[in-house]
Structure 1
Amino acid sequence: MNAPTFASAPANASTQTSRAARTRLVMAAAVGNALEFYDFTVYAFFALVIGKLFFPVHDPVGQLLLAVASFGVGFFTRPIGGLLIGMYADRAGRKKAMLLTLGLMALGTAMIAVAPTYAQAGVAGPVILVIARLIQGFSAGGEVGASTTLLLEQAPANRRGFYASWQFASQGLSALAGALTGVALTASLSASQLESWGWRVPFIIGTAIVPVGWWLRRTMEEAPRESVAAQPKAPKIPLVTVLREHGRAVLNGLGLTIGGTSAHFIIVFYLSIYGVKQLGLPSWTAMLSGCVSGAILFIVAPIGGYLSDRIGRNKLAQTTRVLLMLAIWPAFALLNQSPTTGTLLAVVTALSIVHSLNVGPTGAMLGELFPRSVRATGAAIVYSLGVAIFGGFAQFFVTSLIVITKSAMAPAWYVIGCGTLSVIAVACMRERSRESLD
């Protein structure tokens, strides 16, 4: 299929300046987003240690359930953050919203870094931890809508998929950074040192590097390529407009998000815990698995975004989603039949490649569902709701299903079920890659 054609401006100094400004904007959005999600995802890689320190129950499975539940509790505030910060981004600007989310994430991460354990402060320790997770969830809920719409709106018409894909690629970078930090700490510290103070180091690092993201976002340019005056202003209450005039877009966006987020949290996060707790693999394999999946997402997601600009977003999203659904059950069967580190890494690699190609066009597809005046609100609502329900508690649901059903294949069926909803949603969406954004 031929690539889409768009009218292009002459290659003059103004065009070059605009291109340089957009490149810097992509860096600011991607790097800042990576810093945010590093703080958010590093918790998942230390869930086992945190569960032991903050939830001292005697049953290891119960301890794990409490740990992943505290990971998921941050997703309760994601829809609220997505709604409020999304509306703020539509009315006050994407840049201001992105600065707000970064500041909130820094606060939540700093609270985790200094939170006393249960042994040190009793129930106050878990309470502080949960409050910090709620703040982080609120921040992350608003981050995706603001940063994705900014990338989408500043992209050249024929590269929207590629530009928006960096939102998800930066999440891969954050997972890689968090896993590498975990590997370094696990390799250099004893188990007692890791439990005593080592687990705090990643959160201290996350707090310390937030000023870098703040500087990048504070100095980036937000001026749209089209005249701001030519665009309709955001309504006073964007949520009302989204629900009243774009109900079908909300449903399609939720379906699209459900499939991607369930696969993301199973492949990127849960598989590593599954290998350690269910298959008895060494604990360091969890960090190594996170490194592999994070690196692949960072590299391959932009390729998926680029391909969506060339062949169409819907075709790529549908093909890769079906491939992932077909591959997930044999992957878990192989892993249970041959529970080795090599098998785990091979499974993670194969699934991560397909998943990363699938999420590449997702950012553009979500943003293209809504007009500019309510785009940040609409994208934030559908993404944060889908992630909160089907992603945040994915590990808790799947762990519970394994305990209840005694079946090690529960994670595969979870991904297949959510993927089916995603396939239906994409089938109902119009292909927008060759249409004008606004």
Structure 2
Amino acid sequence: MTPGTTSIASSSKFATVLRVTGGNFMEMFDFFLFGFYATQISKAFFPTGNEFASLMLTFMTFGAGFLMRPLGAIFLGAYVDRVGRRKGLIVTLALMAVGTLLIACVPGYATIGLAAPVLVLIGRLLQGFSAGVELGGVSVYLSEMATPGHKGFYVAWQSASQQVAIVVAAALGYWLNVTFTQVEVTDFYWRIPFFVGCLIVPVLFFLRRSLQETEEFMARKHRPDAREIFQSMVANWRLVVAGMMLVSMTTVSFYLITVYTPTFGKAVLHLSTTDALIVTLCVAISNFIWLPVMGAVSDRVGRKPLLIIFTVLAIFTAYPSLKWLVGSPSFIHMLEVELWLSFLYASYNGAMVVALTEVMPVNVRTAGFSLAYSLATAIFGGFTPAIATGLIEMTGDKGAPGLWMTAAAMCGLIATLVLYRRQAPRPYGVPA
């Protein structure tokens, strides 16, 4: 291959990564907005007269979207494994757009009564059904188009694109808080980021439609139907459960340091909304840097060492870090703790996502990945804001969310030891 050909190929790979993760960025942007603006949403749709009850109802609705993820993983995952990565990613985007538009446009409880929270719940369920296969579809696409020996680096951009979504969401939140009063934001202007997401959807459809199918998928002679995929999932249930436990560390730590951070900063530490959003912004930037770096490191040293090291670090430092923070709350202390947890999350996730694509059977890779990831998110991660809020209320310990992350890290460590227990050391430069 000539230098010119190499340059063109590299440029083509870069453009492909941008197209596939561009859609993933917006899907996750719309999905996470609900968590970022939980306080405003609770007042608009769940006005119980009790701040804790309203916030819990909001986080339970947020979590309900994750309960739909396993269904999306099974049905949409089977569709993607059957008809192709490109077509499946277009379908997931359409479903996410409908859910986001619904949440953005529904009048508040004061206007239409109980219909308001019901319609918001439907919007969340649509988002969850779509997201059930979005992460798996994008991750598998990136793993199949990656150059040999660089799968970790390529797949890490799926998670990195989510961090860009968080940066944009946090930046919009910061702009709203410095431009409008808290009353104005609560009354209406929290909806602006949702409208922004809706307006960009046509661009995303263009990006997704321009994607080419992966060569690995096109070369596959047998493409299983839904029945075969379901049978494979049942036959490989132990692998799916181990994969779910592997993801638990990622999904709990991610939602703890991103979606829950604005609420934790305001409601628990009593910091300003602006301070909490700036910390969230910094965490997203930190994640964006560390994810591809640690994905590339996992290409060199293997997935297993990174998975073990960072689950152990999380087990021993998550709760003490948060306990120290709540004992001496300040913007600087919150930033320091959140950046440390960000380092743990991104370093683990940089190796974990590509590892999950590698342990799944090739012919049902999207469905298997998506089901394991969705189950972890539904059981562990999606309800992290609600669980964190409930733990603080029940125990009176403001650092209790750290215990939830510790438990998830223990699940990740056990899963790593189980999945890699029979694997011999691999040659240098060969992905684990």
Q: TM-score scaled to structure 2, two decimals?
A: 0.94
- The answer as to 2:21 corresponding to 1:38 is no
CA contact (8 A) 1:165 1:362 kept: no
Aligned to 2:239: 249
Stretch moving more, 50-59 or 246-255: 246-255
Cα distance per residue 1:389-423 (max 9 Å; x no partner): 10111111221122122222321111111111110
After superposition, residues 72-151 of structure 1 pair within 5 angstroms as: 72-151=63-142
**Local SS of the residue matching 1:156:** coil
Paired with 1:65 and 1:229, the residues of 2 have a C-alpha distance of 49
Shift of 1:437: 8.5
Aligned-pair identity in percent equals: 33
Distance across 2 between alignment mates of 1:57 and 1:142: 34
Matched residue type, 2:94: G
Residues 1:262 and 2:252 aligned together: yes
CA displacement 1:229-275 (0-9 Å, x = unmatched): 45542244244343344233212211111111111111222233122
Alpha-carbon contact 1:45-1:287 (below 8 Å) kept: no
Of residues 180, 183, 187 in structure 2, which corresponds to 1:192? Answer: 183
1:315 paired to 2:299: no
- Please say if residues 42 and 179 of structure 1, whose CA atoms lie closer than 8 Å, have aligned partners that are also in contact: no
Question: Which amino acid in 2 is paired with 1:422?
Answer: G
- Once the two structures are superposed, residues 1-23 of structure 1 have per-residue CA deviations (whole angstroms, 9 ceiling, x without a partner) of xxxxxxxxx44666554433322
Q: Which amino acid aligns with 1:142?
A: V
Q: Which residue of 2 aligns with 1:274?
A: 264
Instruction: State whether structure 2 residue 375 is matched by structure 1 residue 397.
Output: no
Specify the code of the residue in structure 1 equivalent to 2:227.
I
Amino acid at match of 1:96: K
Cα distance in 1 for partners of 2:325, 2:140 equals 39
Q: 1:59 maps to what in 2?
A: 50
Specify whether residues 229 and 85 from structure 1 end up closer, same or farther in structure 2 by C-alpha distance, changes over 3 A only: same
Question: In the alignment, does 2:337 pair up with 1:347?
Answer: yes
Question: Structure 1 CA distance, aligned partners of 2:221 and 2:88?
Answer: 19
1:157 pairs, out of 126, 148, 151, with 148
Residue 287 of structure 2 aligns with which residue? 297
Q: In structure 2, what is the equivalent of residue 23 of structure 1?
A: 14
Cα contact 1:21–1:221 (8 A) shared by 2: no
Equivalence for 2:315 = 325
Aligned amino acid, residue 403 of structure 1: E
The offset of 1:134, in angstroms, is: 0.6
Q: 1:167 aligned to 2:158?
A: yes
Matches within 5 A, 1:157-236: 157-224=148-215, 226=216, 228-236=218-226
The offset of 1:383, in angstroms, is 0.3
- Structure 1 Cα separation of the partners of residues 175 and 5 of structure 2: 46
| 1:383-394 map, 5 Å | 383-394=373-384
Question: Structure 1: where are the runs of 5+ without partners?
Answer: 1-9
Counterpart Cα distance in 1 of 2:230 and 2:182: 52
1:376 to 362, 366, 372: 366
Aligned residue pairs: how many? 428
Residue by residue, what CA displacement relative to the aligned partner does 1:112-147 show, whole Å, maximum 9, x if unpaired? 111100011111111111111111111111101111
CA contact (8 A) 1:45 1:286 kept: no
Q: Contact (CA 8 Å) 1:176, 1:291: kept in 2 or not?
A: yes
Output the CA distance in 1 between the equivalents of 2:190 and 2:331: 24
Gaps of 5+ in 2: none
What CA distance in whole angstroms lies between the structure 1 residues aligned with 2:414 and 2:381?
19
Q: Distance in 1 between matches of 2:221 and 2:331?
A: 54
2: CA distance, partners of 1:118 / 1:413: 35
User: Residue 413 and residue 159 in structure 1: after superposition, are their counterparts in 2 closer, same or farther (change >3 A)?
Assistant: same
Residue identity opposite 2:133 in structure 1 = G
Q: Distance in 2 between matches of 1:388 and 1:301?
A: 23
Q: Aligned partner of 1:377: which letter?
A: A
Report what 2:405 is aligned to.
415
Question: 2:157–2:292: 8 Å Cα contact kept in structure 1?
Answer: yes
Deviation at 1:83, TM superposition (A): 1.1
Q: CA RMSD in A?
A: 2.0
TM-score, normalised via structure 1 length: 0.93
